[in-house]
């Protein structure tokens, strides 16, 4: 046994409420995460050190390794044990209550602040472009000579993607501001889910950001939006996107988004910056969805 137990301090607070002991198996193993399916059908996500916490997530310490597919996972006596054939890992001890990833749905509408001009200038170009509905920023590392593009009337994928994302985001806002916007909202949500680049498509990130902000601000259609997310048919988006949106429907979000939403109606710069830095473009897209719900996000 090591001289001091290895502690797990970063985990979704809901893990404490699971009926322990709980047993599961690693069904998917990725470079930075492993998805565990528990015997009762629930799930658990083991995350590599340094990765942002996600719903039902447990961030492992740096000295731990992510288990491979088929490994058994056991939660018992305040500990997490990973049983991998041919490899021994010391148990990890849960410490503290975990992190709250839930964003309550406010009953009365709150008036949000504005993003300071200096913070606005720091936002990712993609976030600002999505909010303004302006032309997409060209990929600055793109070396392709497209001088003959003008010969084609065909818009490129990127142009279409940004146009649709921007347009549909405005429709979401319009629906969320009206309590009776649900029928139209279901159509709009379906148009956005699964749309765009990324393992969680950009549209899914926009929806998660919008839902979190709508709940935190008590917008009239916040619950309806979450209802539409819950009713998305399986296979409409990627498995990762689908899992995120199911949790979003229940009010649970990746840690940087949950923190930003829970700080509303204030708009502190630090949570916005943290959210903007999440993933490759996920944070920028979530932030666009989030800020769009503020109607007039900056002065």
Partner 1 sequence: MPESVLVHRGRYHDSAFLMRLSRELSARPGVQEAVVVMGTEMNRELLRGAGFHAPALDTAGPMDLVVAVRASDGKAIEGASRELERLLQAAPTAAPGAAARPGSLVEALRAQPDADLVSVAVPGEYAGHVALAALRAGRHVFLFSNNVPLEDELRLKRLARERGLLVMGPDCGTAILGGVGLGFANRVRRGPVGLVGASGTGLQEVSSLLHQLGSGVSHVLGTGSRDLGAEVGGLMTEAGLELLAGDEGTRVIGLVAKHPAAEVAERLHRVLARLGKPVVVRYLGQPARSSADGVTYTGSLEEAACAAAALVGPATAPALATCPLEDDVRELLSLRPRVEGRLVALFGGGSLAAEAALVLRGQGLEVEEPDRPLGAGAPLPGRAHLVVDTGEDFYTRGKPHPMVDQTVRCGLVRALGAEPGVGLLLLDLVLGDGAHPDPAAELGAAVRSARAAREARGAPPLLVLASVTGTELDPQDANRQRGLLTAAGVHCQASAWRAAVVASALLTGPGGK
Write a three-state SS string for 72-97. EEEEECCEEEEEECCECCCCEEECCC
Of 293, 105, 115, whose CA–CA distance to 215 is shortest?
105
Q: Is position 27 an interface residue for partner 1 (rule: CB under 8 A)?
A: no
Identify which range of 24-32, 92-100, 175-183, 208-216 contacts partner 1 by CB under 8 A: 24-32
Residues 6+ apart with CB under 8 A from 134: 128
Residues 181-210 that bind partner 1 (CB under 8 A): 191-201, 203
Reading the block at residue 69, the tokens are 């597919």
Tokens representing 280? 């490759």
* Per-residue tokens: 152: 């084609």
Site size with partner 1, rule: CB under 8 A: 74
The residue (of 100 and 158) whose beta carbon lies closer to partner 1 is 158
Q: Per rule CB under 8 A, is residue 118 in the interface with partner 1?
A: yes
Give me the least distance between CB of 90 and partner 1, in Å please. Answer: 10
Q: Least distance (Å) from partner 1 to the CB of residue 121?
A: 5
At closest approach, how far in Å is the CB of 178 from partner 1? 24
Footprint on residues 128-147 left by partner 1 (CB under 8 A): 128, 137-144, 146
| Helix H or strand E segment including 255 | helix 255-262
Place of tokens 């990833």: 101
Closer CB to partner 1, residue 98 or residue 256?
256
Distances, alpha carbon 265 to alpha carbons 106, 250, 271, in Å: 11, 20, 13
Question: What mask, x for binding partner 1 by CB under 8 A, covers residues 217 to 256?
Answer: ------------------xxxxxxxx--------------
């Amino acid at each position: 046994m090591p001289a001091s137990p290895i502690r797990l301090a970063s985990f979704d607070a809901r893990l404490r409420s699971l009926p322990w002991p709980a047993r599961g198996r690693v069904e998917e193993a990725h470079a930075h995460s492993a998805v565990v399916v528990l015997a009762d059908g629930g799930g658990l996500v083991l995350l590599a050190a340094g990765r942002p916490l996600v719903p039902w997530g447990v961030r492992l310490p740096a000295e731990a390794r992510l288990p491979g597919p088929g490994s058994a996972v056991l939660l018992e006596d305040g500990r997490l044990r990973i049983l991998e054939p041919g490899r021994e890992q010391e148990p990890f001890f849960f410490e503290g209550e975990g992190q709250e990833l839930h964003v309550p749905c406010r009953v009365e509408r709150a008036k949000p602040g504005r993003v300071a001009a200096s913070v606005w200038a720091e936002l990712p170009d993609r976030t600002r472009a999505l909010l303004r509905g302006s032309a997409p920023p060209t990929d600055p590392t793109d070396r392709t000579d497209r001088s003959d593009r003008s010969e084609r009337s065909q818009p490129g994928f990127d142009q279409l993607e940004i146009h649709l994302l921007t347009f549909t985001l405005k429709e979401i806002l319009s629906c969320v501001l009206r309590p009776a916007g649900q029928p139209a909202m279901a159509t709009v949500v379906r148009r956005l889910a699964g749309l765009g680049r990324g393992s969680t498509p950009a549209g899914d990130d926009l929806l998660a950001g919008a839902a979190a902000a709508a709940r935190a601000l008590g917008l009239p259609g916040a619950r309806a939006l979450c209802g539409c997310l819950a009713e998305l048919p399986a296979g409409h988006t990627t498995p990762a996107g689908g899992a995120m949106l199911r949790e979003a429907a229940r009010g649970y979000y990746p840690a940087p988004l949950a923190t930003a939403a829970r700080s509303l109606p204030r708009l502190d710069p630090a949570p916005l910056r943290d959210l903007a830095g999440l993933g490759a473009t996920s944070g920028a897209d979530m932030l666009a969805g989030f800020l769009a719900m503020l109607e007039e996000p900056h002065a």
